[in-house]
Amino acid sequence: MEEGNFIYIDLIGRVKDTGEIFETTKEDVAKQEGIFNKRFKYKPLLQIIGSKALVPGLENTIKSMQVGEKRIIELEPKDAFGERRDELIKLFNIAMFKERGIDPFPGASVTINGLPGRILSVSGGRVKVDFNHPLAGKPIIYEVEVKEEIKNLEEKIPAIISAYSNLEKDEFSTKIQEKVVEIDTKDKDLASEVKRAISTTIKRWVGDVEKIKFISYF
């Protein structure tokens, strides 16, 4: 695989020490493991080689794979979600949470200054928050299969839209003309951050596109 290649992959991610599955694209696996989420669409994941959307060790492995190939790989923390860092555990005054209408408790997820974290403890008017990734410091095992490669421009743009919006390909249409991509989401409206992500990804990875236009009727 080369940088810029568009592929679909199936994967299962497990914590090595416990066997816990934290990610899968397969509905049957999710149901079997008791982690099925009816709001999640289980399907092969779009991956653009070089986009760094996956952990480094997984992306580097996929680069050396071919369509139809399956592998099981074991990653140390440095090649997965990183080592745990003590400096990412911070103390905050509980008043800051109260001012925001938040009642802090251990285990709660919070976002502070744009950074996601998890509350470790609440004591003496102080709140300890861990900003490490929940899987930091843990060896990871991935089962990955390269399902398909997308080569045509007419397929790449819908693949990006579907990946970021969670819309099926029959729920929108696209038209490409003179470096302008027109995206008609019909009766669906997309959040501004989703539109931004779609536009940025198309311009970065599809090629000679200068403008993205969104049309919707809702």
Instruction: Tell me the CA end-to-end span of the chain in Å, nearest whole number.
Output: 41
pLDDT in tens, 97-129: 999 889 999 999 999 989 999 999 999 999 999
CB atoms < 10 A from the CB of 171, how many?
14
What does 95-119 look like in DSSP terms, one character per residue? HHHHHTT----TT-EEEETTEEEEE
Q: Which two tokens stand for residue 25?
A: 């694209």
Contact between residue 107 and residue 119 where contact means Cβ atoms under 8 Å apart? yes
The domain at 152-218 falls in which architecture?
2-Layer Sandwich (3.30)
Please give the pLDDT value at position 218.
63
Domain assignments of the chain as residue spans, ordered by start: 1-82+137-151, 86-130, 152-218
Structure confidence at residue 51 as a pLDDT band (50, 70, 90): very high
Q: Which CATH class is domain 1-82+137-151?
A: alpha beta
The domain at 86-130 falls in which architecture?
Beta Barrel (2.40)
Task: Supply the pTM of this predicted model.
Answer: 0.85
